[in-house]
């Protein structure tokens, strides 16, 4: 009888730990839409054509500062390089201060960046779409498409796996 109870407890605990791990569907393209003249879709093949930058190894910390993962062997496309062909719709340059970008992952996870954060700070120079990780090309990375900010202190908040869309919006 004690063995049955022990097996039942182990089964229940195993079920909870399996449920706690969520699967993030990989993506094969990245849409850029919103307050722009030229909505664009970047496929994996498109991303592979951009010049790559080596990305130093990153320790991923959660919001409490606890180590969650270590990413190695990365290269990627700087976000500003990827967005260079995007034409924003605005009347006067001062309205760019009202623009923000919503990065949306395949599981619904969202992260928001301001136009100034991307284009007018040193931090914006440290935003990347990862094209290679741990010696694997983008096609072979299970969590593709990946966005990372290498300048963040708690890197996990803006480490986006399964990135599928960037929506460009303007405050109303």
Count of other CB atoms within 10 angstroms of residue 124: 19
- Does the structure show a pLDDT above 90 at 127? yes
Q: Residue 70: what are its φ and ψ, rounded to 5°? A: -130, 125
* pLDDT tens sequence across 129-154: 999 999 899 889 888 999 999 998 88
In order of their start, the domains of the chain are: 24-170 (3.90.420.10)
What percentage of residues in the chain have a pLDDT greater than 90? Answer: 73
pLDDT of residue 1: 58
- Kindly report the pTM of this predicted structure: 0.84
Q: When comparing pLDDT for 50 and 11, which is higher?
A: 50
pLDDT of residue 91: 96
């Amino acid at each position: 009888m004690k063995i049955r109870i022990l097996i039942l407890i182990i089964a229940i605990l195993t079920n909870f730990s399996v449920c706690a791990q969520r699967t993030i569907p990989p993506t094969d393209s990245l849409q850029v839409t919103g307050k722009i003249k030229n909505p664009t879709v970047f496929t994996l093949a498109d991303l592979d054509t951009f010049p790559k930058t080596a990305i130093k190894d990153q320790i991923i910390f959660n919001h409490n500062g606890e180590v969650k993962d270590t990413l190695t062997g990365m290269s990627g496309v700087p976000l500003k390089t990827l967005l260079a062909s995007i034409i924003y719709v605005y009347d006067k340059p001062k309205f760019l201060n009202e623009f923000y970008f919503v990065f949306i992952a395949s599981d619904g996870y969202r992260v928001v960046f301001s136009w100034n954060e991307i284009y007018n700070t040193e931090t914006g120079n440290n935003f990347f779409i990862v094209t290679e990780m741990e010696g694997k090309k983008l096609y072979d990375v299970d969590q593709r498409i990946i966005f990372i900010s290498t300048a963040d202190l708690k890197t996990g908040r803006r480490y986006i796996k399964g990135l599928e869309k960037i929506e460009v919006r303007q405050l109303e």
